[in-house]
Amino acid sequence: MADESICYLSATELGMRIAAGEVSSTEATEAYLERIARLDGNYASYITVTPERARADARQADAEIAAGNRRGPLHGVPVAVKDQFDTAGIVTTNGSTILAENVPDEDATIMSRLRDAGTVLLGKLNMSEYASGDAFRHPYGRPRNPWDTNRNPGTSSSGSGAATAAFLCATSLGEDTGGSIRGPAAFCGLVGIRPTLGLVSRHGVFGACWSMDTAGPVSRTVTDCANTLAAIAGHDPNDQQTWDVPVPDYAAALDGNVKGLKLGIVTERVHTDANDPEVRDAVLAATQVLAGLGAEVSEVSLPLIVNSSEISYAIISSDAAMLNWDIISTEQLRELDHNNQVRLLMGSVIPSRAYQKAARLRDVLRRQILGALEGVDALIMPASSVPATLIPDSAGLGTKADVITGFKGRRGFTAPFNLANLPALSINCGFTASGLPIGLQIAGRAFDETTLFRLAYAYEQATDWGERRPPGV
């Protein structure tokens, strides 16, 4: 039996130990594969586990490192990715039975970059069908939150949150259109970043909304998140929306010093009855920690942010219908989850006038956010107004209260930065009385992920929230 304690190391620490010869990539890989086989029945975080590929990757990593050819901080580290990304020779389902036999011929660019970084692919992670946060049915198993298996791990990168929190991979990738990285990170007590649109290639990634989709990491520590983003970021000629900008060594900037950085608490998203009181109190306490470290904290107002759910939903639903018109126009539509059918059909009949109004309001909101960021270095608010929600016991939209919570809750807190195409990060900032994680969201200027990582790292080092483990894990 492999040494399971390996799985509790951070991805960065594991990479350092592999480089030093204290543990091999093969040993780490076997430890993770054994753990997945033993525990993932509780969480359904994987759709496909790839033991043969993982062992081959690990053997190659061990040989390269032994020869003195270390590729970087994640060389030999076992990772997993959302099943929304093309993987050559490996089934890629996008969370749907429609694509149960879809085996791509080539990797998505981000998968090629993970491979170039020397990582070990453990498998493909579970997700909401077609990356829809509204989907009820999960044909490959209902993902569950390791902190409370009666609760959601967040959508749509559900498996990325569950597997990373349950120590079933060292770090993972998700995709964020309206909050699908930050939501699972908040619900599962992790660190997740939605990068600036155009920093990470979307070539080979199933789309949900062309103007908001972006892939990014879901990790257990800020340093892991920084190193994972650095591995996948950068211009790609196959994606014309990527920018040819330098990719910093994000981890090198993590010194714990945030003195003089200016933070703006978003009034409409902190001081609101929409927030669970425990969420509000935890976020305000976190700002005080950062203030104690030397950051300058003030309040800012973004009036239109309260309508971000409506703006986002109109645009995403219409774009999703366009991207999936081949499904809407055939009998395949009946194979989708009922809520997904409703969403796509609704999106297909949104009038152009309504879409244009949403697009114009999006521009107004973006200008409000950019205006606020002229006076502060980062914005602070919850990643979700509530902690992890209970898994519903039946299909459908649920009660009116359920709909409002889902629509105004996480989506209304994460979507503003998708609409503005700006980077935003979630980090655990405490727990409810019942032991559920709470997510602090930090958002900033385009291509300034470094500042977000600096703030998150300083907060992480000043608190002990990240040292806690889910029960039974």
Give catalytic residues, as residue numbers. 82, 156, 180
The rounded distance, in Å, linking the Cα atoms of 84 and 118 is 21
Cβ atoms of 276 and 408 within 8 Å: the answer is: no
- Would you give the end-to-end CA distance of the chain in angstroms? 18
- Rg of the chain, C-alpha, whole Å: 21
Number of Cβ within a 10 Å radius of residue 41? 9
- What does the block give as tokens for 142? 């209902």
- At residue 35, the 3 state secondary structure works out as helix
Cβ atoms of 468 and 189 within 8 Å: the answer is: yes
> If you write DSSP's letter for every residue of 170-205 in order, what string do you get?
SEEEEE-SSSTTHHHHHHHT-EEEEPPTTSB--TTB
- At residue 443, the 3 state secondary structure works out as strand
Cβ atoms of 43 and 143 within 8 Å: the answer is: yes
E strand intervals along 372-423: 378-382
The rounded distance, in Å, linking the Cα atoms of 177 and 417 is 10
The rounded distance, in Å, linking the Cα atoms of 358 and 338 is 25
Cβ atoms of 449 and 195 within 8 Å: the answer is: yes
Sign of CA dihedral 393, 396, 401, 406: positive
Q: What is the DSSP letter of 330?
A: S
- What does the block give as tokens for 192? 């997740």
Residue with tokens 């599962």: 188
Instruction: Render the burial of 87-99: b for 16+ CB within 10 Å, e for the rest.
Output: beebbbbbbbebb
The rounded distance, in Å, linking the Cα atoms of 404 and 279 is 17
Which amino acid, 91? V
22 to 5, 7, 25, 407: CA distances (angstroms): 13, 14, 10, 48
- What does the block give as tokens for 133? 């946060």
- Size of the chain, expressed as the number of residues it contains: 473
Residue with tokens 């079933």: 168
The rounded distance, in Å, linking the Cα atoms of 47 and 184 is 17
Cβ atoms of 248 and 37 within 8 Å: the answer is: no
